[in-house]
């Protein structure tokens, strides 16, 4: 279950390059309220944009379709300054465009759907009290399929 973009979508996308898939827009991965407040540019370089597209096409969009529920991004790409500002670990996969935090509204369902879907992923970290799920997929190299509940 990978690369589920239809031919129609691919044609439409040629005129709308910021839409990565049917449900995900590049801007969702770039926007950061903290970056805006601090006047920081959070534009991902080309390689990070490739990693974001990979994350969407091979993990988030297929998971969105499998789950039949909206997946709301709370944090996607982070520049070095933005990562520092939000207290991310220095080697965070958000720095490379390989990770996104998504709201879970306190439910385990998205994590269950991820496991049941058989989709490949690097890490899924469920932050129970903060009610979000960190999902990552490596752009290059082997993915660990590691599930952590905090």
Segment lying near Zn ion (by CB under 5 A), choices 20-28, 36-44, 66-74, 134-142? 134-142
Could you say which of 57, 58, 95, 134 contacts Zn ion (CB under 5 A)?
134
Q: Please, where are the H alpha helices in the chain?
A: 7-15, 26-30, 33-37, 46-55, 61-67, 80-85, 109-117
Q: How far is the CB of 115 from Zn ion (least distance, A)?
A: 18
Could you say which residues in the range 42-101 bind Zn ion, by CB under 5 A?
Answer: 99, 101
Q: Which residues contact 142 (CB under 8 A, 6 or more apart)?
A: none
Distance CA 21, CA 4 (A): 9
Q: How far is the CB of 127 from Zn ion (least distance, A)?
A: 9
Residues that bind Zn ion (CB under 5 A): 99, 101, 134
């Amino acid at each position: 279950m990978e690369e589920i973009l239809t031919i129609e979508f691919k044609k439409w996308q040629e005129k709308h390059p910021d839409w990565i898939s049917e449900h995900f827009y590049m801007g969702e991965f770039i926007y950061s309220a903290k970056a805006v407040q601090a006047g920081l540019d959070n534009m991902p370089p080309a390689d990070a944009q490739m990693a974001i597209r990979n994350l969407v096409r091979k993990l988030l969009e297929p998971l969105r379709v499998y789950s039949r529920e909206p997946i709301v991004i709370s944090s996607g790409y982070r520049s070095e300054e933005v990562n520092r500002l939000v207290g991310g670990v220095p080697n965070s996969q958000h720095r490379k465009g390989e990770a996104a935090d998504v709201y879970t509204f306190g439910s385990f369902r998205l994590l269950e759907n991820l496991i049941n879907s058989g989709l490949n992923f690097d890490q899924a970290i469920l932050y129970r009290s903060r009610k979000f799920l960190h999902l990552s997929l490596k752009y290059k190299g082997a993915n660990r399929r590691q599930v952590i509940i905090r």
